[in-house]
């Protein structure tokens, strides 16, 4: 029974990465209608950004938590301005292919210069060590990841669903022409939204740097699972992707305990089941 609690907690930790990443995807899809396959590569760039900050500029983990998402977010906004903008109004497939190609190029470049084994990034001193919870030894850093990403997720949800800015955003996706008539700069808002989604990915990257190796392929391994999370939660649903992210982390954790061999596939089995029963995802609405 103790072991089960431990696995639930570990699942929650992984779930927080799924939640952060799928949240960014949901924001981008919901507002821009782009299936952002470059998300994994941008997540990886976030981790690399933290690594560079530490090793080249001697800037530690805490500032990196802000600088890396902003820097990668700006990179994302440049991508949106120069490449993605041209795809407005075209079929989803074009955006998917473009971002997928971008992801391959970005990963290829990093792989070329840094190899596949990855680079070390250590846990910040303040979060080193662990706490004995009785049923398991919880590294403090992992606890921090869960709490921090939960806060970020809820803030993002609040920003989009409960503030005036969020209302503009949602209105702009429904009817850009009308919103523009009110004097709102819709293209700029879309760029900023993409930047926000990308920033969330980079933030997840920084959070994961001390846990996993900083590797060029770190995003590619994760992104497929995260897409499954988004599909299960319902494309574009903010709250749906947060809840599904955490829930799937827990389910995956349990699978690792009961039948480890299937832990890579369980998410996709669930995806198939959900699609069969409710094609719009658990919280998605049919158009």
In whole angstroms, how close is the CB of 79 to another protein at the nearest point?
23
> According to DSSP H, which parts of the chain are helical?
2-32, 39-56, 61-82, 92-114, 140-162, 164-174, 176-181, 186-208, 218-233, 238-258, 266-277
Binding mask 5-34 for another protein (x = CB under 8 A): -xx--xx-xx--------------------
Q: Determine the 3-state secondary structure of 85 from DSSP.
A: helix
Q: Which of 67, 70, 150, 211 binds another protein (CB under 8 A)?
A: 211
8 A C-beta contact, residue 92 and residue 35: yes
Dig out the tokens for 114 from the structure: 């840094």
Q: Which of 20, 146, 222, 229 binds another protein (CB under 8 A)?
A: 222
Q: Which of 97, 257, 280, 282 binds another protein (CB under 8 A)?
A: 257
Residue 258, class by beta-carbon neighbours within 10 Å (0-12 exposed, 13-18 middle, 19+ buried)?
Answer: exposed
Size of the site for another protein (CB under 8 A): 41
In whole angstroms, how close is the CB of 71 to another protein at the nearest point?
23
Cβ distance to another protein smaller for residue 124 or 187: 124
In whole angstroms, how close is the CB of 252 to another protein at the nearest point?
8
Task: Supply angle C-alpha 213, 60, 41, rounded to 5.
Answer: 40
| 209 touching another protein, by CB under 8 A | no
Using alpha carbons, list the distances in angstroms from residue 250 to 10, 14, 130, 246: 7, 8, 21, 6
Q: Which of 19, 22, 76, 256 binds another protein (CB under 8 A)?
A: 256
H-helix or E-strand containing 138?
strand 137-139
Q: In terms of DSSP bridges, do strands 130-132 and 137-139 run parallel, antiparallel, or are they unpaired?
A: antiparallel
In whole angstroms, how close is the CB of 198 to another protein at the nearest point?
21
Question: Which residue is associated with the tokens 């990465």?
Answer: 17
User: What residues from 142 to 171 belong to the interface with another protein (CB under 8 A)?
Assistant: 142
In whole angstroms, how close is the CB of 69 to another protein at the nearest point?
21
In whole angstroms, how close is the CB of 115 to another protein at the nearest point?
4
8 A C-beta contact, residue 53 and residue 121: no
User: What residues from 83 to 142 belong to the interface with another protein (CB under 8 A)?
Assistant: 111-120, 122-123, 130, 136-137, 139, 141-142
Contact residues for another protein (CB under 8 A)?
A: 2-3, 6-7, 10-11, 13-14, 111-120, 122-123, 130, 136-137, 139, 141-142, 211-213, 215, 217-218, 221-222, 253, 256-257, 260-261, 263-264
């Amino acid at each position: 029974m103790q072991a089960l609690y431990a696995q639930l907690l570990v699942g929650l930790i992984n779930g927080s990465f799924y939640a952060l990443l799928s949240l960014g995807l949901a924001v981008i899809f919901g507002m821009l209608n782009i299936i952002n396959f470059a998300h994994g590569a941008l997540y990886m760039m976030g981790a690399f950004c933290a690594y560079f900050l530490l090793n080249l500029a001697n800037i530690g983990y805490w500032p990196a938590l802000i600088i890396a998402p902003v820097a990668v977010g700006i990179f994302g906004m440049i991508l949106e301005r120069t490449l993605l903008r041209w795809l407005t109004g075209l079929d989803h497939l074009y955006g998917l292919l473009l971002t997928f190609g971008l992801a391959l190029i970005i990963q290829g470049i990093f792989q070329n210069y840094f190899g596949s084994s990855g680079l070390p990034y250590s846990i910040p001193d303040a979060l080193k060590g662990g706490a004995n919870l009785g049923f398991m030894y919880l590294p403090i850093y992992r606890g921090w990841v869960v709490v921090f990403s939960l806060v970020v997720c809820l803030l993002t949800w609040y920003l989009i669903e409960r503030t005036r800015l969020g209302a503009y955003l949602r209105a702009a996706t429904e009817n850009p022409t009308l919103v523009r008539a009110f004097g709102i700069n819709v293209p700029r808002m879309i760029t900023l939204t993409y930047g926000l989604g990308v920033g969330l990915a980079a933030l997840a990257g920084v959070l994961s740097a001390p846990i996993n190796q900083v590797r060029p392929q770190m995003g590619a391994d994760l992104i497929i699972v995260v897409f499954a999370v988004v599909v299960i939660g319902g494309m574009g649903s903010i709250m749906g992707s947060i809840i599904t992210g955490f829930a799937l982390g827990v389910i995956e954790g349990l699978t690792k305990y009961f039948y480890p061999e299937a832990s890579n596939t369980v998410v996709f089995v669930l995806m198939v089941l959900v699609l069969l029963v409710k094609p719009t995802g658990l919280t998605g609405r049919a158009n």
